[in-house]
């Protein structure tokens, strides 16, 4: 099953929820989960001082770790990335998972920078790598310190990364199909590529579909079809198109 829950990540529309809403969401999840599963909290941004301020102002008692995105928009150098996360690592004793997603941040944090951070700061314990770049994944897996977690942020590459030595996935489709996608990852962790790829091919259609227009509109459409929640998103995002909704509905009915 699910190993931990990430709060206020990209799929939670963290860019368009207020600080007050973030606190309410976190408090609700902490209360609901009641220490039954580890919680990782998304705290990141492109203003280093504000990220540190938010970390210090947040009650992290029930939080196992922090997921912190690479600074966006400003497009810092690799040294800028390093200094940003150095300052964040000094601001908390909580474990930190870096989050590299160049498709959203406009600039890639190189594997060498990630490895440098991993070696220099004991509370930087992993990276969620979401660049859809197999070469970068392999560089991280080859050069990482012992115990450092290379976590896939790409659902379509998650099995291959796990089979290559990765530590699983922080998933989008896993929010709709947690059991099935957890099984896929567990096959990868066990080195069972036959069963793993059987599940991978079974799920590829829906993985492609949920990213066809934008995330989280796609996966929220799946969740609506499963009668888990509505499919509303906040501007500037919009709901999935009628055609995509039909395609997703067809998959859900047949899965």
From CA 139, how far away is CA 133, in angstroms rounded?
10
Largest alpha-carbon pair distance within the chain?
A: 50
From CA 76, how far away is CA 51, in angstroms rounded?
16
Residue among 107, 128, 220, 224 flagged as catalytic:
128
Question: Does 99 participate in catalysis according to the annotation?
Answer: yes
From CA 167, how far away is CA 91, in angstroms rounded?
26
For 138-169, letters b (16+ CB in 10 Å) and e give bbbbeebeeebbbbbbbbebbbbbbbbebbbb
Q: Which residue in 120, 126, 74 sits closest to 100, CA to CA? A: 126
- With left for phi above 0 and alpha for psi between -120 and 50, is residue 165 left, alpha or beta? left
Residue among 22, 94, 99, 177 flagged as catalytic:
99
Asked if residues 96 and 65 have their Cβ atoms less than 8 Å apart, the reply is: yes
Residue 10 DSSP label: G
**Residue written as token pair 């970068």:** 136
Catalytic residues: 99, 128
């Amino acid at each position: 099953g699910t190993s931990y829950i990430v709060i206020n990540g990209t799929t939670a529309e963290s860019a368009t929820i207020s600080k007050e809403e973030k606190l309410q969401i976190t408090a609700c999840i902490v209360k609901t989960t009641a220490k039954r599963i580890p919680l990782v909290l998304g705290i990141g941004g492109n203003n280093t001082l504000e990220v540190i301020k938010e970390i210090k102002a947040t009650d992290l008692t029930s939080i196992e770790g922090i997921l912190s995105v690479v600074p966006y928009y400003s497009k810092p150098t690799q040294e800028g990335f390093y200094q940003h996360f150095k300052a964040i690592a000094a601001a908390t004793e909580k474990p930190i998972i870096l989050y590299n997603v160049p498709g959203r941040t406009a600039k890639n944090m190189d594997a060498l920078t990630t490895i440098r951070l991993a070696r220099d700061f004991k509370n930087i314990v992993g990276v969620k790598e979401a660049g859809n770049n197999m070469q970068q994944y392999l560089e991280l897996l080859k050069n990482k310190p012992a115990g450092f977690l290379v976590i896939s942020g790409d659902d379509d590459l998650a099995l291959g990364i796990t089979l290559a030595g990765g530590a699983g996935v922080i998933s989008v489709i896993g929010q709709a199909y947690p059991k099935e996608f957890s099984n896929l990852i567990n096959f990868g962790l066990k080195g069972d590529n036959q069963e793993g790829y059987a599940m991978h091919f079974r799920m590829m259609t829906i993985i492609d579909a949920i990213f066809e227009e934008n995330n989280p509109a796609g996966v929220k459409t799946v969740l609506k079809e499963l009668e888990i929640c509505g499919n509303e998103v906040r501007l500037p995002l919009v709901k999935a198109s009628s055609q995509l909704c039909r395609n997703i509905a067809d998959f859900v009915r047949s899965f």
